[in-house]
Amino acid sequence: MHTFFAPDLSGSTYTLPEDESKHAVRVLRLAPGDAVELLDGRGGLYAAAVAEANPKRCQLRITGHTHEAPRSHFTHVAVAPTKNLDRMEWFVEKAVEVGVERISFLRCARSERRELKLERLEKIAISALKQSGQAWLPQLDELQDFGAFVAGVAPETTYIAHLEEGERTALAQVAGAGPGCCVLIGPEGDFSPQEIALALARGIRPVTLGASRLRTETAALGAVFTAQLVRA
């Protein structure tokens, strides 16, 4: 069944935006009476049927509605975006498919990417939401400085995955200890010693994702996957 994203859905009918209407009618060849599914990204799952197959204003009639409660365990990953944006796009797509509630982007001392536009990443997140059937669209946060970010998190549920020497706990051992977790993933050159010290001084605990040295986007996805396995 074809799925559409309807963030502003209310009432018993919904009209697809023009680009989605054209895709539904001209590409998918949907006709009156055909069944479709709508997601609002806020837990709402809607059954619908095509009422008017207009390529500019395809109107749908809502035939059913269920609501999925938020997950009991909240997964938040804060990652320094890579210079090659394709790798961050891949991460966002896969993280949404696996299940993540929030993604923040960090500007670190060793970051190669200092600016980030969310529009493209938000579209990828919506596409992954529709493909995977997830009911909740993750929150994507604007790029912000590492220091400002760590000053605003709850240290008791926040962990930093760094490569410096020292004692680190496996993320799988601690990710399920509370109602949620936030994992910090640094740039390709890792967090700077000063950033690590700042995080530890805030009470943020160091963790490891395993023995391998992972790329930034792989480490970020590994953190999401680990948190999902722990709470399953």
Per residue in 83-137, pLDDT tens? 999 999 999 999 999 999 999 999 999 999 999 999 999 999 999 999 998 899 9
Q: Is 184 helix (H, G, I), strand (E, B) or coil?
A: strand
Does the structure show a pLDDT above 70 at 197? yes
Domains of the chain: 3-67 (2.40.240.20), 74-231 (3.40.1280.10)
User: In this predicted structure, what is the pLDDT of residue 49?
Assistant: 97
Per residue in 21-79, pLDDT tens? 999 999 999 999 999 999 999 999 999 999 999 999 999 999 999 999 887 789 999 99
Q: Is 163 helix (H, G, I), strand (E, B) or coil?
A: coil
Record the tokens describing residue 98, joined without a space.
């696996």
Contacts of 189 (CB under 8 A, 6+ apart): 110
Q: State pTM to two decimals.
A: 0.92
| Amino acid at residue number 62 | I
**Alpha-carbon Rg of the chain, whole angstroms?**
20
Chain-centre distance for alpha carbon 37: 21
Question: Given phi > 0 = left and psi -120 to 50 = alpha, else beta, which region is 16?
Answer: beta
User: In this predicted structure, what is the pLDDT of residue 198?
Assistant: 97
Q: pLDDT: is 167 or 158 the higher one?
A: 158
Q: Is 213 helix (H, G, I), strand (E, B) or coil?
A: coil
Does the structure show a pLDDT above 90 at 213? no
User: In this predicted structure, what is the pLDDT of residue 232?
Assistant: 59
What's the rounded Cα separation, in Å, for the pair 139 and 130?
A: 16
Q: 46 vs 17, 59, 122, 211, CA distance in Å?
A: 17, 14, 21, 44
Query: What is the average pLDDT across 7-21?
Result: 93
Poorest-pLDDT segment among 151-155, 217-221, 227-231: 227-231
